[in-house]
Structure 1
């Protein structure tokens, strides 16, 4: 599933943002405080709203008034256009959140549109407001005319529950469940080095958590169930981290799992708590990126932290490979070395205007930057010279 365009209104500093034709791998660049973390939090917010409800998702961020853009009195709005797969029709999802008369947040509008073919107006698969609405049943792609699809009236338990949550679990609402699965599968990294170093009670984990605190368990799972993937990770570590010969997830006598990194220069391996931050982080990224089941969307902030600059070009290629294999990737960065490894069509700049709100620009839309890039200038060097921010916002 791929997000092709995104509109955001009244979400903190993102008062009016629109992105079109988003590539499989997109890199977001900007100075401190312009809203890169806020942009990534949009996906975290929608994920939380689906997992719980809109009220909980807002409460975790300080409440409706704190999330609503400063000085605005409208609604918080999102529009996402995506395709469930490359050959399937475009689906548009719109969500508008307001405050009810009782002061509690509610879903003012939730609409999902489906377009069969390239012409004609999109047809509403789902339309809800304040907990009541209609939804289409069946697999719409099989209808010769989507207007023939049966639509049934539904009522949710509360006006702050997403209809895609309430209906997406039922088999008859196939199109709705596709969007539910898309959002559920978003991975917004909140990685912490110390959590990844931790010793875990023996258990079972197939996929890396947002913080990386189950790294040892996932490594053990890959070793036992996907030996080819685990060997690929080890070979990448050997090529990128000097001295590393192997990594093992071992169970201790008291039933806990620890990671041990073997250095070919020493007889005994090092426990994860004693190896460098960069070693832990590179291993964590490789475990995440080599996951046999790709996340629909992977959001990673500033992957360059704790990593030797020489490794960033190789890490960029790993992210791009992940995107080519089916998982969309969004990355934020400050690193010139990382920028030097990406393509101009993958780069966006965040710029805060005089009104205090942030705009997002696609760098390739700047004729000057495009010409400099084609002439051989590296994006990292243009960033160092402050040309990227100055030119894209003109």
Structure 2
């Protein structure tokens, strides 16, 4: 659980992890597009040359009893980014990769290493260390900023149902898919009954008039199910977290939200997933 006062940097921490994860997973262009361009990855607190540089470092002890250090820096943003990565296993440095491009995906400046176009906009972790545990961790991070209000809205028929979106806006579509699995449906129900006393059932319903998928809740003592807009934000937030855990294929899920919803739990030993 990451806890701290407002403005202490919790969101920046999640933003940095999300950016690096997207860079490792899909390349520089995708990562920058998701975060609104170079301006939004820079620190407003730095001065001079450091104000034009994005830096990220991580040190971790893996299950294989291996100490890993990884750093990423992106600088010279006015003339074109200079990308530098460093990866060390048990204090032994691997080949350092430094690349330069004029702009995202365009007009490459050939540096010392004669490497291909793809190498210059994609992370060396994915190219040369794709199966390393650290690479898998960064590639598979799911960062959520749940918007309970948006999650309450019915989904259009073309909404993605494979996994929950970062804001939870496709909650109804994903839950509708999960309902086909009886074990998952019962698991969601059990958790919701424990978290929100009085909730007897959570289900989806296809609306014929507009072809949308809507959420319906059944509460003890109330005969008819009621729509999601009558449910509290806290209930929606809890449901989103459950659906995120049960629909994702990765072990770590990061949720950045208000401190009053801060939680850390494992759904069960079989799934072995942790929500932070």
TM score, norm. by length of structure 1: 0.56
> How big is the shift at 1:276?
2.2
2:124 matched residue in structure 1:
163
Give the number of the structure with larger relative contact order, counting CA–CA contacts within 8 Å between residues 6 or more apart: 1
2:63 matched residue in structure 1:
86
1:53 matched residue in structure 2:
28
> How big is the shift at 1:216?
0.8
Q: Does 1:176 align with 2:146?
A: no
CA contact (8 A) 1:193 1:280 kept: yes
For 1:239 and 1:211, locate their aligned partners in 2 and report how far apart those are by CA, in whole Å.
24
1:127 matched residue in structure 2:
96
CA contact (8 A) 2:155 2:214 kept: yes
> How big is the shift at 1:220?
1.3
> How big is the shift at 1:161?
4.0
In structure 2, relative to structure 1, the CA distance for the partners of 1:30 and 1:323 (3 Å cut) is farther
For 2:179, what is the secondary structure of its paired residue? helix
In structure 2, relative to structure 1, the CA distance for the partners of 1:159 and 1:229 (3 Å cut) is same
1:264-343 → structure 2 map (5 Å cutoff): 264-291=220-247, 293-302=249-258, 304-305=260-261, 316=263, 319-321=264-266, 326-327=272-273, 329-330=275-276
1:224 matched residue in structure 2:
180
Structure 2 gaps of 5+ residues are 102-112
For 1:63, what is the secondary structure of its paired residue? helix
For 1:200, what is the secondary structure of its paired residue? coil
In structure 2, relative to structure 1, the CA distance for the partners of 1:266 and 1:44 (3 Å cut) is same
For 1:296 and 1:48, locate their aligned partners in 2 and report how far apart those are by CA, in whole Å.
15
1:210-249 → structure 2 map (5 Å cutoff): 210-225=166-181, 227-249=182-204
CA contact (8 A) 1:45 1:57 kept: no
- What's the C-alpha RMSD, in Å, of the aligned pairs? 3.3
1:112 matched residue in structure 2:
87
For 2:184 and 2:32, locate their aligned partners in 1 and report how far apart those are by CA, in whole Å.
38
Structure 1 gaps of 5+ residues are 1-26, 116-120, 133-151, 168-172, 306-311, 331-394
Q: Does 1:257 align with 2:217?
A: no
2:115 to 154, 158, 161: 154
Moved more, 40-49 or 258-267: 40-49
CA contact (8 A) 1:58 1:67 kept: no
For 2:243 and 2:63, locate their aligned partners in 1 and report how far apart those are by CA, in whole Å.
26
For 1:216, what is the secondary structure of its paired residue? helix
> How big is the shift at 1:215?
0.7
For 1:155 and 1:252, locate their aligned partners in 2 and report how far apart those are by CA, in whole Å.
51
TM score, norm. by length of structure 2: 0.77
> How big is the shift at 1:38?
1.3
For 1:221 and 1:294, locate their aligned partners in 2 and report how far apart those are by CA, in whole Å.
18
1:35 to 9, 27, 50: 9
How many residues get paired?
Answer: 257
1:103 to 66, 73, 79: 79
CA contact (8 A) 2:163 2:248 kept: no
For 1:304, what is the secondary structure of its paired residue? helix
> How big is the shift at 1:235?
1.6
For 2:2, what is the secondary structure of its paired residue? strand
